[in-house]
Amino acid sequence: MLDLAILGLLQEAPMHGYEIRKELATKLGAIRAAISYGTLYPTLKRLHGAGLISEAGETAPDAEQVPPLTSRRGRVVYEITAEGKERFADLIAQTGPDAYDDASFGVHFAFFARTDRATRLRILEGRRRRMEERREGLRDVLARATERLDAYTLELQRHGLDACEREVRWLEELIASERSGRPPATSAGPGSTTTPSSEPRPQEQDRP
């Protein structure tokens, strides 16, 4: 989940921890709160240990001789490795049931620009299915348990049901969009090539 997000971000540019957190906070702002450092640093260490990312220099060209008592720590810049890119491709294409959870779906969606259309469609449809099930569950409760639950609990269910239905409709539009080959409805965006980077630039969305 987090691995996917970090790998995806580092594919755009090398970064250090603090930067990763900020970028992820804006990229995933709609989905979840900023990722905690208590998660981030151990994760980076783990990914590094697994050879999926590597430390890139930046530790002051000369001063290398001594780790002084007051260890001049300095920032650690990570970049993605070839294995990391492979891993990212695996993870992004994974369409198991996990990919339809709230959090996981959000991350997958946020990297749709790096996902091929078939996978995008599979994920959108899986998510829609998931939301339809949740919707049915809520409708059942509202239909059958009106007597058993207090007014506040019912109001909560109603609000949840509303959000649910809304998301299903949203997904439906996106699916239709994908099928017709259109990019997601950019309401007012310039819609230009979003990545000026020199990256491999995999499957891009705008293409009739």
The site for a second copy (CB under 8 A) is made up of 26-27, 29-31, 106, 109-113, 134, 137-138, 141, 145-163, 166-167, 170, 174, 183-191, 194-195, 203-207
Nearest to 30 by CA among 123, 108, 110, 114: 110
**Smallest distance, DNA to C-beta of residue 78, A:** 8
Report the amino acid identity of residue 172.
E
How far is Cα 187 from Cα 33, in angstroms, rounded to an integer? 25
Per the DSSP assignment, residues forming a β-bridge with 78 are: 15, 55
Q: Which stretch binds DNA (CB under 7 A): 34-42, 110-118, 120-128, 184-192?
A: 34-42
Q: Each residue of 44-83: b (16+ CB within 10 Å) or e?
A: beebbeeebbbeeeeeeeeeeeeeeeeeeeeebbbebbee
Q: Each residue of 129-147: b (16+ CB within 10 Å) or e?
A: ebbeebbeebeebeeeeee
SS3 of residue 104 by DSSP? helix
Question: Which residue from 76, 142, 163, 175 is in contact with DNA, where contact means CB under 7 A?
Answer: 76
Q: Which of a second copy, DNA, none does residue 148 bind (CB under 5 to 8 Å by kind)? A: a second copy
Question: Which residue from 18, 116, 133, 173 is in contact with DNA, where contact means CB under 7 A?
Answer: 18
**Smallest distance, DNA to C-beta of residue 113, A:** 21
Contact flag: residue 35 with DNA (CB under 7 A)? yes
By beta-carbon proximity to DNA, the closer residue of 7 and 113 is 7
Q: Residues in the site for DNA, rule: CB under 7 A?
A: 1-3, 16-19, 32-33, 35-39, 41-46, 70, 72-77, 101
